[in-house]
Amino acid sequence: MLEFKLTDEGIEDAIKKLPQRLIRTGAFESLVIALQPTVRAMKEDAPVDEGALRQSIGFRFRRYRGGKTLYGAVGPRRGVFGNDGDQPSRRAHLIEKGHYVRTKKGHRWVAPNPFMARAWLRTRDQVLKLFRQQFGNRLYAEVEYRRHTSRKGVPKML
């Protein structure tokens, strides 16, 4: 599971003036769109012999400190089961970091396959760019809407 935070202290004052509705929905929808390249890259990089692992890859989203800090986690979701009844979320970290396997002669090290880290490093700049673009468009639309409406919601005459 890869975890990251998007925090921007420069727009903190502007965010305080915006309605919470825009912050909640706009940030969430922007992050949903922005994380799609990472989810696709993770699914492409997942080991071929781990079929249910690809199907379980998704993301979670949280907001902290009044919407100023966005928290996202991309990786295998719980509750997805393979054909043999196992949960890929219980073994993905072993594939990512490596692990020991018992053998008749002792233990054998299985080399790590950091497919999640590779996917994040490959798409990190794209995710940040997409998020800024999407959220910026939503902020611009809200500012334009507020600029052209009066107190009662009636459009102003230009």
pTM of the predicted model over 0.85: no
In a domain, 140, yes or no: yes
Reported as type and span, the H/E element at residue 70 is strand 69-76
**Confidence check: pLDDT of 21 > 60:** yes
Would 72 be classed as within a structural domain?
yes
d(CA 44, CA 42): 5
Q: Is residue 119 domain-resident? A: yes
Cα–Cα distance for residue pair 126/36, rounded to 1 Å: 10
pLDDT digits (tens, 9 = 90+) for 114-139: 988 899 999 989 988 898 888 888 87
Name the nearest CA neighbour of 86 among 56, 43, 57. Answer: 56
Q: Give kind and range of the element (H or E) at residue 42.
A: helix 27-45
Domain hosting 80: range is 2-147
Q: Does 67 score more than 90 pLDDT?
A: no
Q: Which residues of 21-58 are buried (b: 16+ CB within 10 A; e: fewer)?
A: ebbeebbeebbeebbebbbebbbebbeeebebbbbbbb
Q: Of the segments 16-20, 28-32, 70-74, 111-115, which one has the largest average pLDDT value? A: 111-115
- Of 106, 124, 111, 132, the closest CA to residue 3 belongs to 124
Residue-wise pLDDT for 9-18, tens only, equals 545 555 666 6
Q: How confident is the model at residue 30, as a pLDDT?
A: 83
In a domain, 17, yes or no: yes
* Maximum pairwise Cα distance, the chain: 84
- Whether residue 38 lies inside any domain: the answer is yes
How many structural domains compose the chain? 1
